[in-house]
Structure formats: structure tokens, C-alpha cells
Structure 1
């Protein structure tokens, strides 16, 4: 590989890795616990449930109970049976019958105990397992969280590919030359490369499947185009069980529907070792009511064994079926993605392997950040550049490493939480989990000591982790030896995981000695924070002197402030030209007088002229005499807002007025000028050059 290509791949790997590192760490750390979401929910329950097999579930009893309270007629109902314990997830769709009162039309999402028929809403049943699962794809960030996680996965894919290319020749040597006593950067580099390659297949799978699930809206765009925009047909082909069936009226009750348990038994008896996971009732109580029952074969029989049976709700006739031993590309490809991502194959051993690989990936992310910090702390760098790198490192490590003790703490809190607060976990977790995490982030950020951050988070997390199984034993009498003897393996697994994490964290804590800190470039080339202002001023004066000497040699030099003024003025001229082209458009294409006009210019037209032309001209004038930092920030914010407007205006002109070439050209030039203006204001803000 040529040196140029190597540098391109190396820089791509570094930049993509650094940009996503914090988000990626959170995804993998929370994702590691998400693998055991159901086990965590059973572990944190105040009372230990006695498990029943799915065959013992009286689904008809559940449906009768719900019908009395929520009037199920005309609804689509979804039942998720693929859970551990006696609780099933139930979604009641909106009532399709337009004659039903509006108060009964809305949908319901409920958790129901099949033994006691106790109901809980989503908020009341919220758990730490659910919280960590949703943190895994940033669902706590409204609207954009899942898409943010998807783009992080996409960039992670770039980082993986470029990382393999960059480190390919060093993979084998790094396994044999690994020596913790060498330079600290070398230790991190070797560990980063070696462990990154060990987890490579796992990381690649997660990058691809994570991007697929989180950016499914983009994945479906080409398919939607092929279906001519008919989304119902698209969903019907990809996920037949979710196909919407039109409501055609309520059924005459002279013909009774078959029991839902009868339909479940019919499916179970049709295919051996078939595990029912989801059930759908389409148009409950309607003329065309259908039971849709889906599931899969056991892992030992087939890796991809999705089965589905659609049964008429009255006659029991099989309307359609997918035999689990036969492959269907559209359905089974999605199932493979799901299995690979959520480790729903191979049982607990595969989940444990995924868990360990997720934590290894977290270590790879941290070492990548540390390598970047060490590499950029050179004497050849300016103090301002070194401060920026150091600040980023402190923030990144504070966010990532503080997550471990906070998670351990809340495993304890949800267990000792009084029963009266058990239904308020959602608000408690949102407020206190993020609140305590934020406080720790601020503390470690301003402590400015990555060695201290690493040591204390490992120590606190390790100690709290040991307390987790102890609290479980004291509160619920679920001691490890009892849960194992009683075959309560979900509770046993969570306790053992925390013991494993705690032992590992404390072993690493005792292995990290002060001598390791001394190997860091920040120990050899420290930043004097006490005299920071003086040093920065000296560096700034030296920079000004050097730049002024270069300015004198450059006859074409234009001061930054003058550039900003010129660019503001160019935007004003651009707006005026845009209006001129608009007048030409009126002459050649449209009526001179708009319909409904009375000869007076409306107030909104003046407001737009003031906001666009007037404000741009005002900033040009004020830049002549103002250079304070607040004014630079104000100019930057307004330039960014104006830039968004210009880009939006250019795009809409391309879409709706493609024939108006002159207007499109001037809008493009304005957008380019706006981008340059933002760049120059940023330069002006970061450099205190003497104005000439």
C-alpha cells in the first residue's frame, strides 16, 4: 500500500473512531446488559415469580378479562408470549369501528400477569432492564435518538474496515510483542489492535445489524420505491403478521368464535418443537376475525425456522401458513439479523460470550481514545491544541468510565426501592440515573486526571458490583446458592455477572500502578494549569508576531474582520439580486399583480426584507467597530441560521423551480458565500489577530 493511501485510511479510521467513540461506548456498554433484559426484569422484581410453561397460559381468560374492561371488538390485538415469567406484553390497537364512542378508540399497551390478571401500563412496569435496553439505541433522546444510534453504527462500520486495513500487517506481531512494561502508548496500541481483531467478527455483525435496525427507514426507501409507495403492501410482504385487514362489520354472535387456546394448541401440534413467540388477533369480534400465530423452531432443530399460521377465527380453517422448515427470503433474512444482533440463539452461553465481547469492545474504544490523546500531546503542538486534546480526553473518559459505577449503583437502588415506588421507576431512572451520571462527569472532567478517573471508577464500580448480589439476597432471600438450587437461573445469571464484573474491575484496579501514569506523555510533558493564562498569552503574542511577519510579506492579505464585512455585504447584494430575478420571473411567467392584492405592500414582506437583508447589513456595519467575543458568537449564530435558510431555499428552488436557472445560480452562490462567512467568523473568533 502506498504511503498516501495508508494515511488516508489511517486518518479515516482515527477521525471516524474519535467522533463516535463516546456514543459507541454507551451503545456497547448498555447493549451488553440489554442481552439480559428479561433476566434483569425478573431479578429486580420485588417478588420472585413461579414460572409456568407457555402451554399453561390461559390466553382466553386474559382476553375475556380485557374485553370486559376495554371492549376489544373492532381492535387488532398483539400478544407477546416470548417472555420469561408469567407476564405477557399486550398491545390493543385502536378500534376500527367508527360507530364506537371516541373514548374507546385509542390504543393500549399493557403488561398482564397470566396468573393474577394484574395489569400494568408501560410506565408502571418500567424496569432497569428496559431503561438500559433503550439507552442502547438512545431512545431517551426524542425523535432522533434511534437514528443517531444508526449513524453511529454506520460510522463504526467505516472504522472497522479502515482499522483492519491500517493494522493488517501488525496483527500477528502485536500478539507476540505485547509487553506492558514498554511505553504506555505502545501498550495501548498493541492491546487496541489485538483485542480489536479478536472481537472483529462480533463488531462487524453489530455494525451491520445495528445500522439495519436503527436506519430501517433508509433501508426500506428502495423497497418502497419498488412498491410504488404502497406501504401497506410492502409491510404485508415483509411482515405478513402485521398486515392490516379492513374492518367489514361486527360478527353475528349466533356463531361463536373458536377458543384462542385451541388455535395455539393446533399450531403447537402441527410442528414439533415449535416455540410460539407472538400472536395477533385481527378484527376481534368482526366478520373476518383471524388468528395469526408466529414462532420458530428450537435452535437445536434449525437456526432459521420461522413459522406462521393464519387461522379463521370462527371455522378454524387454515387460511395461510409458512412452514418453519421452508425458507422465505424476505421474512427469514430479517429474522437472521435479529438473531445475530440480540443473541437469541444458543441460550445463555452465547449471551455470555456476547457480553464479554461487548466489554472487550468498550476496552478497544477506550484504548483508541487514549492512543489519540497520547499521539497529539507533542511538544510540536501548540499549547492551545494540547489543551483541546486534553479537554476532549477528559470529557470522553469521564462520560464513558462513569457509566460503570452508576449502573452498579442503580442495580442496588431498584432492588431496595420501597414497593410504593416500584411503579415510578421510569421517572426515578430518568431523573436520578442521568443526574448522578452527569454530576460524576462534571467531577471527573474538572479533576483533569485520567489516571484518577480510571482508578476510582473501577474501584467504586467493583465495590458496588459486589454489593449487588448481597442486596438481592438480603431483600428477596435470593442468595446465589439458593437460586442455583431452585433453578432460578435468570436471577443466578445476573448475580454471577456482577461478581464477574466486580472481580475483573478490582483486579485491573490493583494492576494499575502509579508507575504506569509516569509513562504517559502528560507526566513527561505536563500542562501547567496554574499559569495557564500567562502561557496562553505568551503563545498568542508569539503567534501574532509570526503571523504579522507573514502578513507583511503577503501583498494579497486581507484582514479577517474585513473578510467578514465583505461577506456580509455580498449576502446583502445576493438577496437584492434574488429579488431582481424574482421580478424578471414575474414579467415573463406570472401576472404583474398578485390575486387579492390592494396596492399596498403587506407587513410580512417588510419583515422578511428586514430579517434577511437588514440584519445582514447590520452585522456588516457593526463588524466595523465591534470585536468583542459576545459579538463574534452572535454573528456566528446568525450566520449559521442564515446559512440553513439559504441551503433550504436553494434545495426547494431545485425541486419546485428547476427551470429558473438564474435564481438557482444566485441561491447557490449565496449558500457558498454563507459557508465561507461561517468559516471566517470561526477563524476570527479563535484568533486574536491585530487588525490592520
Structure 2
């Protein structure tokens, strides 16, 4: 089947636009998808990365939320209960509660803080010094949070140019997209294999990639979209845009409002939300201007299944009346739009099955990115280019591959570092992050000395596989939670992480042995 092709001039324009945009964003896009695919399971990873959280979680209905708030007040006297504070109830993946709020400083300034509490013992960790931050580090990496100020905007621009690359790629392959999809073969030279797999897998992952490109660009560049939208639709009033999307934006709390002697308890608000939504899970409970006459207490709910299954309920903080709600059964399109955007991007609907599908498609996209780089490289290995130009193309390709392929062993390094560094060590999160980024940098530098692309590929797989097998061993030696023990005791999240690393490591070693058995020390890709 052949579709109508583009005219020759338009084809050339689209082809070069696709090539240039793709090669410019390729390594940054790989980092985004690779780190993002792991951070999809950020909640499921928590019990593994924090051995102190490996205990049976209590039901969120059993927590005394007023006591949680009072505990924080006792531990942090400067905690400002009138500023917005909130907490996340315990879940199956994380039995600890995250609490965030504000502290008043002696100079009158306000500092935000966050801390974890045990909902059974009410023990509280030191604020702003989490014992573990591994999954959050990977999550932050996928939008370049480590780059101050501009990191999020850069990831948004990468997503925007990814949209451009997808559209131009679709246009140039439109002619034979279907025939290439059904005619994919591993026979022929490497350029043909890279090209056919690039097109075929790109066709399969096209809807997923477009979703991620659009949602990523919108989430990271929303500030640039807000102003023109407000100007065109709301006469320049940005507050109306916020109100249309978020019902809470309608409430303006007065910091000078009078303090009241009687106010609604957090427990009573929680029970009201729970009674009204027995089939929903309360994800967040937070208050603004609490103990004052215009206080509000809000709760966000989610069924974890539907793409519009999230809800928001706002109650008066004085008498507990329901002031406004965005009920998933009746909320408007504008109210649901942002929530749908977030759910599509983070795959927090549809359960573990959808996350697994997202993960696999992210890995496919990583391969598509690498294959695109290799197509660009092999297309320039001809007489039209001088030896100097060929050396430049070779260095660029080697640099791109070193950065991207080294992420696999670097990922194993952060897992090993997280479990090897003692939990009671001060500033252990910073140390684990340093181990990860320094390890990734060293692996990248070492890879630049491997002159063959095949050698880079094989060595990174070999190193990552060996380190991957070490991950469950390090967990067992450090915590005593060996694979068989976690399987027997029902710690399925801890067991899953260990067994996945073990299987991945063994599979990688088998793959490397296959390369070595063929004498592919200088595999020319």
C-alpha cells in the first residue's frame, strides 16, 4: 500500500527539518524519556529505596490528621498553621505521610518545608532533609530540574521541537509508512536495519510520542501560553484563566483575617470527603488560612483508574460546609482539562498495567532516538563528505552514544549508592546524588575512548548488567531483605525491584556473550 507522497521540494525541506531538529534534541530527549520511564514507578520504588518504610501500611482512615498537624507544631514551633499546609495519607506503596508547610523566620520571612511522619508512631523526620531522594532525583532529571532556573523551560523546548520532529517525520515517511511497517527485516546492511526499525517502531509509538510531546510542552511552557490565552479570551486577566481551570483560584484568603476560637477539624473534613466518595482514594488534604475566619480545607481524590477520575472538594475551615467541588461525575471540561493533561503525562490512571505499557513505549522511543542518530551518521559515510567532516560526524555520534548509553549503568549506580550509603548518615541524599552524577560523568568520559560504536554499546551493556546483578545483592547484604525473604513475606514492591534488576542483568550478560562469541569487538554500526 502506498500513500500519496510529498512533492520533491517539500520532501527535501521536511527531510532536512526532521534531521536537524532530531539531531539537535536527540541526547536531551533520550535523557527525558529514559529518566521519565523510571520515574513512572516513583511511588512503587519508595519501599525499596527507603528500608525504614518496609512495614505494613495502615489504612488512611485510621490516621489522626489533627494529631499529625499538632505533632508538626510541637516539633517545629515556627510552623505557621495559617499558611497553606498539607499532607498525603499513607498508601500501599508508601506507608509514611508526607507533610509540607511554612516556617516563620525571625526576620519575618517565610520558608517552606517538608517532612515525613510515621502515622502509627507519629515520629517525624527532620524537615527538608529526606533520608532518600533516589526516585525524585530521576523524576527531576526528566525535566532538567538540576539546571537552575531554566531547566524546566529547556525540557519544554525539547518537547516542543519533538512535536516538530514527529510531524516532519510523519510527512516524509507518509509515502511508504505502511509498506515499511509490514516489510521490516533484520537483513541487509546496518543503514537499512536502522532505517526500517526507525520507521516501523516510530509508527507503533507515534500516538504515545505525540501525547508525551504535547503534554510535556504544555506542562513546562504553560507560563508562555497563559499570557496570550488571557489576552485573547479574558481581556488580559490571567486570574480568570486560573479560575476556569482550578476552582481554588476563586478564593482569596486575607492574611489579616481574624483568628477564630472554633474551627473544623481535619479529621471531620476527611470523614466528610470519605463518606461522600467511598470508592475514591484521598490523595491530598490541605488547608489555607487555617484557624482564621476565611479558612478553607481542601481534599483531592482519585479513583486511580479513570482519566477523569480525580476530584477536588473545598470546605469551610470554620464550620465544615462544602463550598465548592469539582466532582469527577459532574465537573466541566475546563475544570477537567488540566487534570487530564497531568494524567496523560504521568500515567497515574489505569494502574500498573498502563505504567508498564508507558515504560515499554518509552524504551522503544529511546531506541528510535538512537537509531535516528545512527541513520544520520551512516548517511554521511560517503564520498560527498571530506575526511574532516567524517571525523566530526564520528565524534558527535560517539559523544551522543556515550551520554545516552551510559545512563543504563548509571541507573544501577544510583540504586547501589542509595542502598549502600547508611540511612543515618547526614545529608545522605546529596551524597547519593553525587555518586549518581559523578558515576554517569565518568562512564560518559570512559566511553569517549572507545572508538567503535559497537564497543560502546557492548561495554555499557556489560557494565550495566554486572552492576544490575549487584543491586539485589547490595540490598540483601545491607538490609537482610534477600529475594526469597521479600517474596515469602509479601513485600512485593521490594521483591519486584530486585528481581527485575537480576533478570535485566542476566539478560544483558547473555546479550554481551552473544556479541563476544561472534568476535564483535569492533562492531560497525
Judge same fold: TM > 0.5, yes or no. yes
Alignment correspondent of 1:92: 101
Alignment correspondent of 1:303: 307
Consecutive unaligned residues in structure 1, runs of 5 or more: 522-692
2:144 matched to 1:135?
no
Q: In 2, are the aligned partners of 1:273 and 1:298 still within 8 Å (CA)? A: no
2:296 matched to 1:290?
yes
In structure 2, do the counterparts of structure 1 residues 224 and 497 end up closer, same or farther at CA, with 3 Å as the change threshold? Answer: farther
In 2, Cα distance between the equivalents of 1:426 and 1:244? 37
Please report how far the alpha carbon of residue 497 of structure 1 lies from its aligned counterpart in structure 2 after TM superposition: 3.1
Report the 3-state secondary structure (helix = DSSP H, G, I; strand = E; otherwise coil) of the residue aligned with 2:299: strand
Render the CA deviation track for 1:535-578: whole Å, top value 9, x for unaligned. Answer: xxxxxxxxxxxxxxxxxxxxxxxxxxxxxxxxxxxxxxxxxxxx
Alignment correspondent of 2:478: 475
Please report how far the alpha carbon of residue 374 of structure 1 lies from its aligned counterpart in structure 2 after TM superposition: 0.9
Out of 194, 197, 202, the residue aligned to residue 191 of structure 1 is: 197
Please report how far the alpha carbon of residue 71 of structure 1 lies from its aligned counterpart in structure 2 after TM superposition: 4.1
Superposition pairs of residues 491-640 of structure 1, within 5 angstroms = 491-512=494-515, 520=524
Q: In 2, are the aligned partners of 1:82 and 1:277 still within 8 Å (CA)? A: no
Larger % of helix: which? Answer: 1
Alignment correspondent of 1:249: 257
Out of 350, 360, 366, the residue aligned to residue 362 of structure 1 is: 366
In structure 2, do the counterparts of structure 1 residues 499 and 7 end up closer, same or farther at CA, with 3 Å as the change threshold? Answer: farther
Q: In 1, are the aligned partners of 2:99 and 2:116 still within 8 Å (CA)? A: yes
Out of 77, 89, 103, the residue aligned to residue 85 of structure 2 is: 77
Alignment correspondent of 1:431: 434
Report the 3-state secondary structure (helix = DSSP H, G, I; strand = E; otherwise coil) of the residue aligned with 1:325: coil
Alignment correspondent of 1:14: 19
Please report how far the alpha carbon of residue 267 of structure 1 lies from its aligned counterpart in structure 2 after TM superposition: 0.8
Render the CA deviation track for 1:617-666: whole Å, top value 9, x for unaligned. Answer: xxxxxxxxxxxxxxxxxxxxxxxxxxxxxxxxxxxxxxxxxxxxxxxxxx
In structure 2, do the counterparts of structure 1 residues 164 and 473 end up closer, same or farther at CA, with 3 Å as the change threshold? Answer: same
Report the 3-state secondary structure (helix = DSSP H, G, I; strand = E; otherwise coil) of the residue aligned with 2:281: strand
In structure 2, do the counterparts of structure 1 residues 207 and 148 end up closer, same or farther at CA, with 3 Å as the change threshold? Answer: same
Out of 285, 308, 330, the residue aligned to residue 326 of structure 1 is: 330
Using CA pairs below 8 Å that are at least 6 residues apart, which structure has the higher relative contact order? 2
The TM-score with structure 2 as length reference comes to 0.91
Q: In 2, are the aligned partners of 1:408 and 1:464 still within 8 Å (CA)? A: yes
Please report how far the alpha carbon of residue 46 of structure 1 lies from its aligned counterpart in structure 2 after TM superposition: 2.8
In 2, Cα distance between the equivalents of 1:16 and 1:385? 19
Please report how far the alpha carbon of residue 489 of structure 1 lies from its aligned counterpart in structure 2 after TM superposition: 2.7
The TM-score with structure 1 as length reference comes to 0.70
Report the 3-state secondary structure (helix = DSSP H, G, I; strand = E; otherwise coil) of the residue aligned with 1:108: strand
Alignment correspondent of 1:391: 395
Q: In 2, are the aligned partners of 1:111 and 1:125 still within 8 Å (CA)? A: no
In 1, Cα distance between the equivalents of 2:458 and 2:313? 56
In structure 2, do the counterparts of structure 1 residues 107 and 520 end up closer, same or farther at CA, with 3 Å as the change threshold? Answer: closer
In 2, Cα distance between the equivalents of 1:178 and 1:508? 22
In structure 2, do the counterparts of structure 1 residues 313 and 171 end up closer, same or farther at CA, with 3 Å as the change threshold? Answer: same
Render the CA deviation track for 1:167-195: whole Å, top value 9, x for unaligned. Answer: 23433433444333421111111111112
Please report how far the alpha carbon of residue 382 of structure 1 lies from its aligned counterpart in structure 2 after TM superposition: 0.5
Which structure: larger Rg?
1
In 2, Cα distance between the equivalents of 1:122 and 1:357? 35
Consecutive unaligned residues in structure 2, runs of 5 or more: 1-5
| RMSD, matched Cα | 2.4
Corresponding pairs, count:
512
Alignment correspondent of 2:3: none
Report the 3-state secondary structure (helix = DSSP H, G, I; strand = E; otherwise coil) of the residue aligned with 2:126: strand
In structure 2, do the counterparts of structure 1 residues 71 and 466 end up closer, same or farther at CA, with 3 Å as the change threshold? Answer: closer
Q: In 1, are the aligned partners of 2:302 and 2:310 still within 8 Å (CA)? A: yes
Q: In 2, are the aligned partners of 1:406 and 1:436 still within 8 Å (CA)? A: yes
**Of 181-190 and 452-461, the range deviating more from structure 2:** 181-190
Render the CA deviation track for 1:494-539: whole Å, top value 9, x for unaligned. Answer: 2233234334433443444657787848xxxxxxxxxxxxxxxxxx
Q: In 2, are the aligned partners of 1:184 and 1:519 still within 8 Å (CA)? A: no
Q: In 1, are the aligned partners of 2:227 and 2:238 still within 8 Å (CA)? A: no
